[in-house]
């Protein structure tokens, strides 16, 4: 699933390519990809003549502020992708929704496993009342309220592993499996460590590494291990820089010990048994 760096990479591409452009309508090719409240029949007429003022990101959600005062929301889920193309280009096999822009261009939502969703929020309606997942998100990693003290206050209340706690979008928005593994490695903490047992020194280091790892991943366009491509179809290259994720059996880049993989709450977790204690 695309995580914060991948979604932020897409947001920046959308901001560059689509803001200030006029929408001419759209097409829904798979009904379940369009979430409530609009019907498939309402989709194109509702968009026609509108425009995108700015793109925001909240956790793993992409949110377009429309000139009409409404919102367009997208969650890529497992395999969702957005591509900015000429309208004349042949449709990809798994194209689910198309947004038609002026000058013969379009934004395509492609999703092979069909878990992704698109929302259209009418003007005057709070976006959180339609895209209800937004109400369950914790602070963004780069927001001022996400401090070591805040993180400690949340972690000391749970007996879950640090891996499970950092995956909780209600604690911090945007982290997923790849970057939690990378953060734990950079912090020298095993992913199976109990969150409530961590010291303030450890939590402060985890907090700092969340910011550092995400900043580096964003700078390298995110990670591509399977499906992620940016708006123009280019893969991210952070995967080549990963310290532990996806490197089971390979030597640690720091100490040479073989990277191990275990399952924590059903998720694969990679770590170095020498560097993480």
Residues in the chain: 277
* Residue 180 CB partners (closer than 8 Å, separation 6+): 163, 166, 167, 191
Domain final position from 95, 112, 136: 136
pLDDT of 239 > 90? The answer is no
Alpha-carbon span 34 to 55, nearest angstrom? 19
Residue 141 falls inside a structural domain: no
pLDDT of 238 > 70? The answer is no
154 and 259 co-located in one domain: yes
* Catalytic residue positions, numbered: 2-3, 60, 267
pLDDT, position 228? 57
Q: Looking at residues 215-225, what average pLDDT do you find?
A: 79
* Tens-place pLDDT, residues 35-91: 977 889 999 999 999 999 999 999 999 999 999 999 999 999 999 999 999 999 999
Domain final position from 136, 162, 183: 136
Number of compact structural domains in the chain: 2
pLDDT, position 130? 96
* Residue 3 CB partners (closer than 8 Å, separation 6+): 60, 174, 175, 176, 177, 178, 179, 222, 223
Residue 276 falls inside a structural domain: no
* Tens-place pLDDT, residues 142-191: 999 999 999 999 999 999 999 999 999 999 999 999 999 999 999 999 99
162 and 228 co-located in one domain: yes
Alpha-carbon span 137 to 170, nearest angstrom? 5
Alpha-carbon span 255 to 274, nearest angstrom? 7
Instruction: Name the phi and psi angles at 226, rounded to 5.
Output: -145, -70
**What is the value of pTM for the model shown?**
0.92
Domain final position from 73, 104, 136: 136
Omega of the bond prior to 39 within 30 degrees of 0, cis? no
Nearest by Cα to 227 from 61, 5, 9, 2: 2
123 and 155 co-located in one domain: no
pLDDT, position 89? 96
92 and 48 co-located in one domain: yes
Instruction: Please give, one letter per residue, the 3-state secondary structure of 145-167.
Output: CCCHHHHHHHHCCCCCEHHHHHH
Q: Which residue(s) pair with 196 in the sheet?
A: none
Chain-centroid distance, C-alpha 77: 8
pLDDT of 229 > 80? The answer is no
* Tens-place pLDDT, residues 89-132: 999 999 999 999 999 999 999 999 999 999 999 999 999 999 99
pLDDT, position 241? 83
C-alpha to C-alpha distances, 126 to 38, 59, 68, 131, nearest whole angstrom: 15, 18, 14, 9
Residue 143 falls inside a structural domain: no
- Kindly state the percentage of the chain with pLDDT values over 70: 95
Cα dihedral value 39, 76, 97, 229, nearest 10: 170
pLDDT confidence band for 235 (50 / 70 / 90): low
């Amino acid at each position: 699933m695309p995580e914060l760096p991948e979604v932020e990479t897409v947001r920046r591409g959308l901001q560059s390519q689509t803001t200030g452009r006029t929408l001419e309508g759209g097409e829904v090719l798979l009904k379940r990809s369009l979430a409530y409240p609009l019907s498939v029949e309402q989709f194109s007429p509702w968009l026609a003549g509108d425009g995108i003022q700015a793109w925001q990101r909240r956790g793993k959600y992409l949110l377009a502020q429309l000139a009409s005062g409404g919102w367009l929301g997208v969650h890529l889920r497992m395999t969702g992708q957005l591509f900015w193309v000429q309208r004349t280009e042949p449709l990809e096999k798994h194209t689910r929704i198309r947004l038609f822009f002026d000058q013969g261009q379009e934004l395509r939502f492609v999703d092979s496993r069909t878990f992704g969703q698109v929302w259209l929020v009418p003007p005057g309606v709070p976006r959180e009342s339609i895209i209800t997942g937004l109400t369950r998100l914790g602070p963004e990693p780069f927001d001022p309220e996400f401090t070591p003290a805040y993180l400690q206050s949340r972690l000391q209340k749970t007996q879950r592993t640090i891996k499970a706690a950092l995956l909780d979008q209600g604690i911090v928005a945007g982290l997923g499996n790849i970057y939690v593994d990378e953060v734990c490695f950079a912090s020298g903490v095993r992913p199976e460590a109990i969150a409530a047992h961590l010291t303030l020194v450890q939590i402060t280091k985890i907090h700092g590494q969340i910011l550092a790892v995400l900043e580096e991943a964003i700078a390298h366009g995110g990670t591509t291990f399977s499906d992620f491509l940016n708006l123009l179809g280019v893969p991210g290259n952070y995967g080549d820089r990963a310290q532990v994720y996806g490197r089971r059996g390979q030597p640690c880049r720091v100490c040479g010990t073989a990277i191990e993989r275990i399952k924590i709450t059903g998720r694969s977790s990679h770590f170095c048994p020498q560097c993480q204690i």
